[in-house]
Structure 1
Amino acid sequence: MDNKEAREQQALELRRERLKAESARIIDVANTEPHSALRCIHLLSVAGGATEATYLAIEQRIMTDQDPAGAYHLALLAQSTLDLPIDVRQLVELVIAEGDNQQRLALLKNLPFPPVDAVKAQILASQDSDAIAQMDKYLEANPQGHGSEHMLSSGQSDQIVPLS
């Protein structure tokens, strides 16, 4: 191994150790601090990655706290990182069941294939005329309910909606 390869290998090992340490810290926060999912997701983002156990600890924190904002953000993160060891379906179901209408509308816009019927039923049941109007307008432009990613690739424009 030449000098350049040795330096690259050393840098890779240092990065692995840093990620392991950050993962352990995030897991500790998720395991000990109620309602810390958004903080953990932020720490994960700053770290630039984490172990599978880290994602599972955040998911567990979300489910324990029944945290729709954390569920929304972790589900969105899972859309761009397909091999995460989390159950996106249960996160989306939590947002639909426990979230507010803005979060539900954001699911429609930001998931590639959102559960349109479930979101629509919850928004209609809320009798929130503003949210119903927003949903109807969105579904009129996008009757199949494909998320913004699909709309952007087909020439339409929309924006990703942050929730926190």
Structure 2
Amino acid sequence: MSNQPTEQQLAERVSAEQAAIEKRREHLKNESTRIIEIASSESNSALKCIHQLSVAGGATEATYIAIEQRIVADQDTAGAYHLALLAQNTPDLPIDARQLIELVANKGDNQQRLALLKNLLLPPVELIKEQILASDDGDAIGQMNAYLQINPEGYGSHHMLSSGQFDQIVPLSPGN
């Protein structure tokens, strides 16, 4: 007696896997439709949409585009920061990460700029330096200078982690 599955058992297993994939695909499609509706109809909903996207475990391209459009329409620097980080880890997303990063660097607060500096793989160091220096915020300037002293190229925390140093994703809000 062999423990090898029969052809019928293999076919049933493949059929069950296909059904599970279709069910997952349908769930993502429904979640995407719901998230797109939120992004299209609710101002300042980008963070809510990004959270829903994370909970769903993915979405359609149209969902990412709708969230990006909401961010741009609202000039939402917090949403831009989070979507830019997501885009850096998923390079085939249909969004313009450069536009999001520039939004944070140009219109965000210094905590957001410092977080970009520390968390992007290749942050726009000069643009961030220029904006932080122009703010005359001594604390932020000190934090930036301290960070750039140990990492003059501005390679984000991913580089530092691979170099044996320890860092973590920097939250945008204190206490998070």
For normalisation by structure 1, the TM-score amounts to 0.98
1:25 corresponds to 2:34: yes
Give the C-alpha shift of residue 22 in structure 1.
0.1
* Separation in structure 2 between the aligned mates of residue 74 and residue 162 of structure 1, nearest angstrom: 14
* Separation in structure 2 between the aligned mates of residue 11 and residue 162 of structure 1, nearest angstrom: 36
* Separation in structure 1 between the aligned mates of residue 164 and residue 15 of structure 2, nearest angstrom: 47
1:150 is paired with a residue whose SS is helix
Give the C-alpha shift of residue 153 in structure 1.
0.4
Bigger radius of gyration: 2
Match of 1:107 in 2: 116
Amino acid corresponding to residue 43 of structure 1 in structure 2: Q
Aligned residues: 164
* Separation in structure 1 between the aligned mates of residue 89 and residue 30 of structure 2, nearest angstrom: 24
Tell me which of 152, 155, 160 is aligned to 1:151: 160
Amino acid corresponding to residue 73 of structure 1 in structure 2: H
* Separation in structure 1 between the aligned mates of residue 31 and residue 132 of structure 2, nearest angstrom: 39
Query: CA deviation digits over 1:85-135, x for unaligned, max 9?
Result: 000000000001110000000000000000000000000000000000000
1:5 corresponds to 2:20: no
Give the C-alpha shift of residue 35 in structure 1.
0.1
Give the C-alpha shift of residue 157 in structure 1.
1.7
For normalisation by structure 2, the TM-score amounts to 0.92
Q: Which runs of 4+ in 1 moved over 2 A?
A: none
* Separation in structure 2 between the aligned mates of residue 116 and residue 158 of structure 1, nearest angstrom: 18
Match of 1:133 in 2: 142
Query: CA deviation digits over 1:44-98, x for unaligned, max 9?
Result: 0000000000000000000000000000000000111110000000000000111
Query: CA deviation digits over 1:3-30, x for unaligned, max 9?
Result: 1111000000000000000000000000
* Separation in structure 1 between the aligned mates of residue 131 and residue 82 of structure 2, nearest angstrom: 19
* Separation in structure 2 between the aligned mates of residue 157 and residue 7 of structure 1, nearest angstrom: 43
Q: Larger RCO: Structure 1 or Structure 2 (Cα < 8 Å, ≥ 6 residues apart)?
A: 1
**Superposed CA RMSD:** 0.8
Unpaired runs of 5+ in structure 1? none
